[in-house]
Structure 1
Amino acid sequence: MFRYLPWAREGLFVFLRLVLAVGLMEGVRSGYFAGLLPFYAPEYLGLGPATFTLAFTFHQLSENLSKTFGGLLAERVGFGKTVSLAAFAGFLTLLLTPMAHAAWLLWVLAVLWGLSMSTLYPGLTTLASRIAVPGREARALSFTLTLVMPWVGIGLVGVGQVAQKEPEAALTLLMVAQGVVLLLALSLFPFRIPIPKAVREPYPYKRLLFFLPAAFGQTFAPALVSLFILRLAKEELALEPIALGGLLLLGGALALGLLPLTGRQVDRKGYRFALVGGLFLLGVVMVWLAFTPSFMELILLVLLAGVGYSLFLPGWNGFLAKNLPQENRAAIWGGLMTVEGLGIALGPAVGGLLWEAFGLRAPLLTGSAVFFLLSLFYAVLFWRMRWN
């Protein structure tokens, strides 16, 4: 079985425990902010929607804006220590939530929790790239993310189902889950990310600038329509929420199913075609959506989006794994994740302005233009410059 995995057998058990710990923390976080607080905060804390949604905003900002420093800590201080700190901060937040009757206290707890979690993804992706089997780096990174992200939905749906009937029971459930995470993290306390041997040639750090367009654009383009996708589906595409959910599930399942195949191709033949082609397909999907496709066309577009994402994800990860410097890799990865977070933060605001000024199609057309420009930019970049 081990020969089919993209990670080396040595250290795999520790790595999978870390993946489980990060996944559970993601589930607790989504369950807390999106599943619990909408029901718990108004009834038990006397805090309105503006207060607890701002808590989530402050949490996200504190995490995303500190990922460069968080990545540095994960690599220099020890990943086991920073994971344990994040688990403890989450448990402390849950423990003190019943006392957070003042908005400022809830916000402080959210910020501290966010700061502690800034080490998780830079550390985990760096570790995944370091223990990847040579030639399987793209799959190692892509599969790592796909193992973690489902926990977001599990936490949201699971806690939300309990919280709408028994908010206090939902908080207890979250505390139990976070307690398990804390015990798991403490068992990994001494772990450190392995440091590779020093490379002979100095890295041209100016090259890091070429990673920024895709880091920002990949999140900014879809975020342009993220907050009003339900209204867009209803008014422009005549889709009810359940139909939209079914289409999104179809596209996501296809992308996940194709990932082993596309990841293998990237590892064997290179990331260039996958990265450029994936961005181009995502651009096609967004521009086509702007012109009111039929239901059958929507199914085709969802399939194209699944193929596009299954190409882009390993293509992007392969590009990073092959070309980021080994020295301070976690800090650099954290910086790129901060740029991705800015795309998520700015996209909805820009999309709203475009919608208000030019109509619902404008954000889709703008998003497609972003994807097309990124595809062209990296096609030219790979042609003009030498990359690993």
Structure 2
Amino acid sequence: MSGKVAQRMHINLASPFILEMWAIIFLVEFVKGSLLVALLPVYMENILGISVTVVGFAFAMQYLGDNLFRSPSGWVMERIGYRWTMTGALLLILVAVGLIIYAKDAVWLSVACLILGIGTSPLWPCTMTGITELAGSTESGSSGAAMGAVEMASLAGTGIGPIVVNFLMDHGGQSYHSMFLVLMGCAAAVAAVALLLPSRIGTHAPHAIVRGGGEGPAAVRGRGNPLESLKRTFHQVRTTLKVSRLLFPALFLQAFAIGLMTPVVTLFARSELHVTPNQFSLLLIAGGGITVLALIPAGKLVDRIGTTVFLNIGFLLAAGSLAFFSQVRWLPLAFVAVALVGISYALILPAWNAFLAKQVPKGERGTVWGLFLTLQGSGMVAGPVISGKLWDSVGHSTPFLASAFVMVLLFGLHLLIVHRTKRKL
């Protein structure tokens, strides 16, 4: 091993793979945020006259496609590489947006949402696997800063997309058809960026990235009977995935805590805080903006200090700030509470992903990341369902108190996982 490679302590955030994935994540989340937040709910209900129930079903199809195909897409990526897995999937986003333009009924719009979900499904398995590969070939083995960078791209795309679309429609006089064409252009651009991705990332050097058609071990492994290859994969995952069983409920709860808040935060702001739309936008900026700005610095500190301190502080701070927010009825205090929630998530997100990266075995990283992300995604489905029932049946503050309680559970689970891991070493 060369001296230059040996001296590399952390992942280079300016490396081609990180920059390419940053651009892909931003554009994909820009398109998804624009469609799911700003365009489709109003377009389907007001323009096409589709009921809110059907709109919800169509959105559920998007989630279903995304979540169910994460593990298979990770498995496919292990066989054919990053470039063609991502390019093929991202072209489906282009197909989905094109279908939305011409769809006039609930069935075809639901099909389009399902295709959109399938198209986005490899995004996070490929990203997490690539970062884990790069981290494994550095001296520190840390991935916090890189995880923070990609989370920042995700949050920025999700937030900027609806803002840009609403601005163009409100002030630029653009039609829905025009905006869908703009998003088709974004989808084409993101597929083009995916063509720049490497086929594979070397396992022994931080920049040993195969950009040609060279065949690594995974390529050889992918030959032959696909069913036999799949059986070998499941056997390898079972034999190499040596993690605490407590990690699996923790994966579910981490997303479940977010899912509890997602559907009711707007309702809470309007019914309990009585904010105007502009004030609500400022609240979102206070929370989301702080999270985005703090992600990379927090990630770099995670690489230096480790994940344990950040997760312990982050979970407890999130629990306290969410409980505080649930009781606030004065707007200035609401800004303080939201800012604290933003800080807590800036601590949690890069540390949590770096913590998971340490649990992923070297064999079948894509498949294991797909499994982890599927478990997390199931929490995002259950959260809104439980949240709505708590809101209607118990009280408006209850979903936030429940989310705070889940954060306390995560704090305890994390302590137990770390303790058991140290005891085994």
TM-score class, shorter:
0.7 to 0.9
How do 1:17-36 and structure 2 match up within 5 A? 17-36=20-39
Instruction: Tell me how far 1:42 sits from its aligned partner.
Output: 5.8
How do 1:98-137 and structure 2 match up within 5 A? 98-132=101-135, 133-135=138-140, 136-137=142-143
Q: Separation in 1 of the partners of 2:86 and 2:29?
A: 12
Match of 1:311 in 2: 347
Match of 1:68 in 2: 71
Q: SS of 1:237's equivalent?
A: coil
Any gaps of 5 or more consecutive residues in structure 1? none
The answer as to whether partners of 1:203 and 1:325 remain within 8 angstroms in 2 is no
Change (3 A) 1:215 1:83: same
Q: Separation in 1 of the partners of 2:54 and 2:163?
A: 22
Match of 1:205 in 2: 241
Q: Separation in 2 of the partners of 1:299 and 1:117?
A: 33
Q: Sequence identity, in percent?
A: 27
Instruction: Tell me how far 1:221 sits from its aligned partner.
Output: 1.8
- TM-score (normalizing by structure 1): 0.87
**What is the letter of the counterpart of residue 191 of structure 2?**
L
Indicate the RMSD between aligned Cα atoms, in angstroms.
3.0
Q: How many residues align?
A: 381
Q: Separation in 1 of the partners of 2:104 and 2:204?
A: 48
Instruction: Tell me how far 1:123 sits from its aligned partner.
Output: 0.4
* Partner residue of 2:181 out of 168, 172, 175: 172
Q: Separation in 2 of the partners of 1:254 and 1:213?
A: 28
Q: SS of 2:267's equivalent?
A: helix
Question: Is residue 353 of structure 1 aligned with residue 389 of structure 2?
Answer: yes
Change (3 A) 1:32 1:301: closer
Instruction: Tell me how far 1:181 sits from its aligned partner.
Output: 2.3
Q: Separation in 2 of the partners of 1:320 and 1:116?
A: 24
Q: Deviations over 1:77-123 (max 9, x none)?
A: 21111111122111122233343223222222322232232111110
Q: SS of 1:125's equivalent?
A: helix
Q: Separation in 1 of the partners of 2:159 and 2:291?
A: 17
Q: Separation in 1 of the partners of 2:242 and 2:9?
A: 34
Q: Separation in 1 of the partners of 2:78 and 2:55?
A: 33
Change (3 A) 1:241 1:167: closer
Question: Is residue 192 of structure 1 aligned with residue 196 of structure 2?
Answer: no
Match of 1:298 in 2: 334
Instruction: Tell me how far 1:177 sits from its aligned partner.
Output: 1.9
Structure 1 runs of 4+ off > 6 angstroms? none
Match of 2:421 in 1: 385
The answer as to whether partners of 2:61 and 2:110 remain within 8 angstroms in 1 is yes
**What is the letter of the counterpart of residue 151 of structure 1?**
G
Instruction: Tell me how far 1:5 sits from its aligned partner.
Output: 10
The answer as to whether partners of 2:259 and 2:384 remain within 8 angstroms in 1 is yes
Q: Separation in 2 of the partners of 1:275 and 1:25?
A: 28
Any gaps of 5 or more consecutive residues in structure 2? 1-6, 206-216, 218-237
Q: Separation in 2 of the partners of 1:241 and 1:134?
A: 48
Q: Separation in 1 of the partners of 2:9 and 2:166?
A: 34
